[in-house]
């Protein structure tokens, strides 16, 4: 896809952004470091009205504790909404610090207590390690609601890219296990379907920048421990595999028009609507994957965040 299709606000940073193309077991350590170096380019100053603390919460049975970062307004509010936030990185890279700026803004702007999950990465830990880590954090949030000062009726799951996919899977898991009720799922260009670029090929121009077909295939196979697009991928690994989407919480799905995940995200949104789930969709024109992370001050990035914040406020009555 020619660069003149990219929104002009997103062009300058494109040359500095990492490409995950050719991702492999051999290149993964280097790619993890390159990704973090690129993230440091956009780190902002900590917000003075938000405090951050690190904590370790009990992990799944037989697994290590899960590290979380907790962001909260310094001015405590009783019965605050809480967001379990799940970082991106293709299931094979990243950690909560990637989303420091976004989590601080959500805590400050929305009054959320944000609990960001440092789940275990593939291929060192394959499915279901990451999703069970996320569920363990959801459990801890509910069991410690009084200590956290949060409202159990206003629990949101959110994440971008792989974290959006894990958020969608976590919503399915919470619905099916019937232990905890979610108020909202915020899916930011979520990675939902292991069949993309294997069994299902989007238009050739999608996914040219940042997160590519080859990277997607490697990441899914690293997580699943099997060929991507196989017949037996469980829905808690790839939420698009779920046959029944009824009973899920109100949903926001946002994605760029040039993102590899555009087609799978729009199809998931369509299926949610068909299942009676209140669903809002926001497609950002001329935007590649993780556009808002690297150009957060662009007008379209701000409009994007404003849109999902408005959805959260409307649904949670904030």
pLDDT tens digits along 23-52: 888 889 887 887 676 666 666 667 789 999
d(CA 150, CA 177): 22
Tell me the C-alpha to C-alpha distance, in Å, between residue 142 and each of 100, 139, 152, 288: 23, 5, 6, 35
**Average confidence score pLDDT of the chain:** 92
CB atoms within 10 A of CB 49: 11
Selecting among 116, 167, 193, 289, the annotated active-site residue is 289
- Per the rule left: phi > 0, alpha: psi between -120 and 50, beta: everything else, 110 is alpha
**What share of the chain has pLDDT > 90, as a percent?**
75
Ordered by start, the domain boundaries in the chain are 3-313
Tell me if residue 259 is catalytic.
yes
pTM: 0.95
Q: pLDDT digit string (tens) for 115-144? A: 999 999 999 999 999 999 999 999 999 999
Copy the structure tokens of residue 138. 């959801």
Q: What is the pLDDT of residue 48?
A: 82
Tell me if residue 48 is catalytic.
no
The overall longest dimension of the chain from CA atoms, in Å, is 53
HSE-up (13 A, CA, CB side) for residue 256: 26
Residue 4 pLDDT > 70: no
Among residues 125, 129, 123, which one has the least CA distance to residue 60? 129
d(CA 228, CA 196): 9
Locate all alpha helices (DSSP H) within the chain, ordered by sequence.
28-40, 100-110, 129-143, 145-148, 162-177, 213-224, 262-274, 291-294, 299-316
Selecting among 259, 265, 292, 301, the annotated active-site residue is 259
Selecting among 161, 167, 171, 301, the annotated active-site residue is 161
Residue 2 pLDDT > 60: no
What number of helices (H) and strands (E) belong to the chain?
9, 8
| CATH code at 3-313 | 3.40.50.1820
d(CA 202, CA 139): 36
């Amino acid at each position: 896809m020619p660069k003149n299709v990219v929104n002009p606000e997103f062009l300058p940073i494109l040359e500095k952004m990492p490409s995950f193309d050719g991702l492999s077991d051999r290149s993964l350590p280097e790619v993890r470091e390159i990704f973090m170096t690129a993230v440091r380019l956009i780190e902002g100053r900590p917000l003075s009205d938000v405090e951050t603390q690190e904590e370790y919460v009990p992990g799944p049975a037989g697994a290590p504790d899960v590290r979380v970062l907790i962001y909260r307004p310094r001015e405590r509010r009783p019965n605050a909404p809480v967001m379990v936030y799940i970082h991106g990185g293709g299931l094979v890279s990243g950690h909560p610090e990637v989303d420091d700026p976004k989590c601080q803004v959500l805590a400050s702007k929305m009054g959320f207590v944000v609990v960001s999950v440092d789940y275990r990465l593939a291929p060192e830990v394959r499915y279901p390690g990451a999703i069970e880590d996320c569920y363990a954090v959801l459990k801890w949030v509910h069991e410690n609601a009084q200590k956290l000062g949060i409202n159990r009726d206003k629990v949101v799951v959110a994440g971008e890219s792989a974290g959006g996919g894990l958020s969608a899977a976590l919503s399915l898991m919470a619905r099916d296990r019937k232990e905890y009720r979610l108020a909202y799922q915020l899916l930011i260009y979520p990675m939902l379907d292991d069949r993309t670029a294997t069994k299902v090929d989007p238009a050739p121009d999608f996914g040219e920048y940042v997160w590519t077909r080859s990277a997607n295939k490697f990441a899914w196979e690293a997580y699943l421990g099997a060929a991507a697009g196989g017949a037996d991928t469980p829905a808690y690994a790839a939420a698009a595999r779920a046959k029944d989407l009824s009973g899920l919480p109100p949903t926001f799905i946002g994605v760029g028009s040039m993102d590899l995940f555009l087609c799978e995200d729009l199809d998931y949104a369509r299926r949610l609507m068909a299942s009676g789930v209140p669903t809002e969709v926001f497609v950002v024109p001329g935007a590649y994957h993780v556009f808002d992370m690297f150009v957060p001050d662009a007008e379209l990035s701000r409009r994007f965040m404003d849109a999902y914040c408005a959805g959260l406020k409307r649904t949670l009555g904030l």
